[in-house]
Amino acid sequence: MGIVIEGLSHVYMAGTPFAHTALQDVSLRMEAGSFIGIVGPTGSGKSTLIQLIAGLLRPTQGRVRVFDAVLDPETKNRKPFRKWVSVVFQYPEHQLFEETVAKDIAFGPRNLGLSPEEVEQRVEQAMAWAGLPSELADLSPFHLSGGQMRRVALAGVLAMQPRVLILDEPTAGLDPRGQRELLETIRQIQREQKMTVIMVSHSMEEISRHAERMFVMHRGRLVAEGTPEQVFAHGTRLREWGLEVPEWIVLAEELNRNLHPPLPQGIRREEDLASSLLARWKEGKSG
Amino acid sequence: MAPIVEVHEVFYHYFPEKTPRSQWALQGVNLRIDPGEYVAVMGPNGSGKSTLAKLLNGLLLPTEGCVRVMGKDTRNAEDLWEIRRQVGMVFQNPDNQIVGATVRDDVAFGMENLGVPRAEMLRRIPEVLSQMGLAGREEDSPHHLSGGQKQRLAIAGILAMKPAVILFDESTSMLDPAGRDDVMQAIQDLHRQGTTVVHITHSAREASLADRLVVMAEGRVQMQGAPGEVFRQGERLRDWDLEPPLIYRLQEQLQKQGMPLTGTASDTKELVNELWGLLSKG
Ligand SMILES: Nc1ncnc2c1ncn2[C@@H]1O[C@H](COP(=O)(O)OP(=O)(O)OP(=O)(O)O)[C@@H](O)[C@H]1O
Ligand SMILES: Nc1ncnc2c1ncn2[C@@H]1O[C@H](COP(=O)(O)OP(=O)(O)OP(=O)(O)O)[C@@H](O)[C@H]1O
Ligand SMILES: [Mg+2]
Ligand SMILES: [Mg+2]
């Protein structure tokens, strides 16, 4: 098992009048090498959870195990977490600091002790993965558009080739093509490098297309988990948890009100809807 | 009707001396926005959307060409204060916008700068906070809010200032569905009350709610029109790395495969009706 979380709670500013319980008694398991989705409404504890997995926060209660490193309220040494787990934050612009795009991306790999040639190769590779044109390499990262900055922060993390890659809303701010391509690339890297990917997203579309397993957070608690099909089968509960049902599922449900027999179950992506509609239409023509 | 915002042959670059003109961020933008109009702007990363937005409220001044707001040229220093007062902007990254030590102070800050009377401030603060789902968080430090909550706070601060024009620069990108609905609701309420709205977004579904959709690419306005008209040109949109919303994509795909759809449906209901007709014939 890759990541095991048991009875995890986190209270911000514990012991002050501002104490705020962001995570309450969460237990879950994530298999090594899988693509995991985390969803939930604003303030439900998603970012808190991933910061704990990355060893950036200390749990108030419970424990996190990532491979053979353990983090609990007493843990002093959080280094193994930093080494294995990399996070692309929700506003990754804050992660940028070097003079040029290339130097910024090179920072992580250089700290891993790689040779200059290897570092350069990693930078080139990571820029391509993140969809950054090579002309941008020598510009200041602060002279880029919002979407371009996001790609630089992503490239910096991809260049580290971590064992666990955590992405907090990785496609926010990217144009539609950028969104699609980035996730396809991450999916491919995940498979090739057997990387564990944990993605926080508000887009059920992205989750249903890419995640093998998903976890639903609500008010600091884990309220559901399973494959996207299993979770989407909860129907009206989804809306109670503040989730959005993917558009094509809404369309399929709407169509099914007047189609006998209904369209087949398990429509996971837009293409599935199009092909089942076509099949149905051809059947009708010939039958 | 005189336009409320007028952009005439605007060229802009951050370092015009060092950069060849062909790489400038804006390369001859023309745009007129009528009072009360609701305009969505889409375009690939780096196409100049945020740059254009900053020119509209005088935060940046054109390298060439001119921008007028309510007839006032943004290059006139003495009009700039009034222009910024009339054109509110919600930035792409809310951290650039949040200044107060508490949620309440943050909302009050902008109004104080405008000299809004205290009684009026006390009335507006709870109104905008509850509109953006932040009631009960008045005393919290903005730094203790989650990403989506910060974005809501940034929007509340601008709403409280009641500008004539509001520019939303990807203000929904970090929000959950409820947050996005709140912002889209706020945009539509503002529009109904006569506020001019410019909404920069990567979401085709959000853009489809506007009166007019403007597509920016390579520093220019490349397409514009009613959202439905623009979305029916899937091929051209894809040239600019954009995509129409699901119902348009689906119609395009099904038609290509020979299904005799009219291709004119512009919402889920129309498409579902048409599909029922076709599929129940068999
Ligand atoms: N540094 C902090 N100090 C105090 N409270 C915090 C801090 N960070 C987050 N919180 C609170 O903890 C709760 C969970 O926040 P978290 O950032 O984990 O939410 P999230 O699920 O990531 O939300 P979003 O989708 O908006 O990013 C929220 O109510 C938030 O206000
Ligand atoms: N502060 C800056 N200094 C120098 N160049 C900049 C700056 N901000 C943006 N640019 C450049 O200007 C061009 C347009 O950027 P802009 O931010 O307007 O794009 P955008 O359409 O808003 O993109 P996004 O969808 O990524 O937010 C880009 O090529 C970018 O690299
Ligand atoms: Mg978060
Ligand atoms: Mg921008």
ipTM of the complex as predicted = 0.84
Shared domain check, A272 and A190: no
What local confidence, expressed as pLDDT, does residue A126 receive? 94
Shared domain check, A200 and A287: no
Q: What is the pLDDT along chain A (287 residues), one digit of tens a residue?
A: 799 999 999 999 988 888 999 999 999 999 999 999 999 998 999 999 999 999 999 999 999 999 989 999 998 888 888 888 999 887 777 778 889 999 999 999 998 889 999 999 999 999 999 889 999 999 999 889 888 888 899 899 999 989 999 999 888 888 888 888 889 989 998 998 899 999 999 988 899 889 999 999 999 999 999 999 889 888 778 888 988 888 888 888 899 888 888 888 777 778 889 999 999 998 887 76
For B211-224, what is the mean pLDDT? 97
Tell me the C-alpha distance between B282 and B279, whole Å: 7
Shared domain check, A268 and A146: no
* DSSP helix/strand/coil, B246: helix
Domain assignment present for A238: no
Structure tokens at A249: 């599922």
Which chain A residues are closer than 8 Å to B182 by Cβ?
A: none
> Per residue in A6-23, is it b (16+ CB within 10 Å) or e — as a string?
bebbbbeeeeeeeeebbb
What local confidence, expressed as pLDDT, does residue B189 receive? 86
Which chain A residues are closer than 8 Å to B102 by Cβ?
A: none
Residue with tokens 């884990």: A222
Tell me the C-alpha distance between A62 and A268, whole Å: 35
For B102-114, what is the mean pLDDT? 93
| Nearest-CB residue to B246 (from A179, A247, A284) | A247
Shared domain check, A286 and A212: no
Query: Residue B238: pLDDT above 70?
Result: yes
Shared domain check, A184 and A251: no
Which residues have C-beta within 8 Å of that of residue A54, sequence separation ≥ 6?
A: A81, A82, A85, A86, A87, A166
What local confidence, expressed as pLDDT, does residue B256 receive? 92
Closest Cα in chain B, distance from residue A112 (Å):
30
Residue of A nearest to B147 (CA): A90
CA distances from A203 to A24, A66, A210, A222 (A): 24, 26, 11, 18
| Structural domains counted in chain A | 2
Shared domain check, A267 and A167: no
What local confidence, expressed as pLDDT, does residue A287 receive? 62
Query: Residue B54: pLDDT above 60?
Result: yes
Domain assignment present for A240: no
Structure tokens at B24: 């400038």
Query: Residue B249: pLDDT above 90?
Result: yes
Domain assignment present for A236: no
In this predicted structure, which of A89-103, B67-81, B238-252 has the lowest mean pLDDT? Answer: A89-103
Shared domain check, A35 and A104: yes
Give me chain B's average pLDDT, please. Answer: 92
Report how far ligand 4's centroid is from the alpha carbon of B14 (Å).
Answer: 14
Domain assignment present for A22: yes
Domain assignment present for A42: yes
Report how far ligand 3's centroid is from the alpha carbon of B148 (Å).
Answer: 7
Backbone angles phi, psi at B10, to 5 degrees: -90, 125
Query: Residue B23: pLDDT above 70?
Result: yes
Most confident of A172-181, B62-71, B247-256: B62-71
Which chain A residues are closer than 8 Å to B173 by Cβ?
A: 169, 172-173
Instruction: State whether the beta carbon of A258 lies less than 6 angstroms from ligand 2.
Output: no
Shared domain check, A85 and A197: yes
Tell me the C-alpha distance between B52 and A179, whole Å: 23
What global pTM score does this model have?
Answer: 0.90
What local confidence, expressed as pLDDT, does residue B279 receive? 87
Shared domain check, A187 and A113: yes
Q: For the segment B181-212, what is each residue's pLDDT rounded down to a tens digit? A: 888 988 898 899 899 999 999 999 999 999 99
For B141-159, what is the mean pLDDT? 89
Shared domain check, A220 and A156: yes
Domain assignment present for A241: no
Chain A, residues 100-119, CB within 8 A of chain B, namely: none
Which chain B residues are closer than 8 Å to A179 by Cβ?
A: 202
Residues in contact with ligand 1 by the CB-under-6-Å rule are A 12-13, 20, 22, 40, 42-48, 90; B 144-149, 176
For B162-169, what is the mean pLDDT? 95
Domain assignment present for A234: no
Shared domain check, A266 and A192: no
Domain assignment present for A232: no
* Residue A171, amino acid: T
Query: Residue B67: pLDDT above 90?
Result: yes
Shared domain check, A252 and A220: no
Tell me the C-alpha distance between B67 and A64, whole Å: 55
Contact (Cβ atoms closer than 8 angstroms) between residue A181 and residue A151: no
Q: Describe the strand order of the beta sheet including A213-218 as a list of residue ranges.
A: A85-88, A164-168, A196-200, A35-39, A213-218, A221-226
* Residue A211, amino acid: A
What local confidence, expressed as pLDDT, does residue A72 receive? 94
Candidates A145, A203, A216, A239, partner chain B, best to mutate (most B CBs within 10 A): A145
Query: What range defines the domain where residue A285 resides?
Result: 246-287
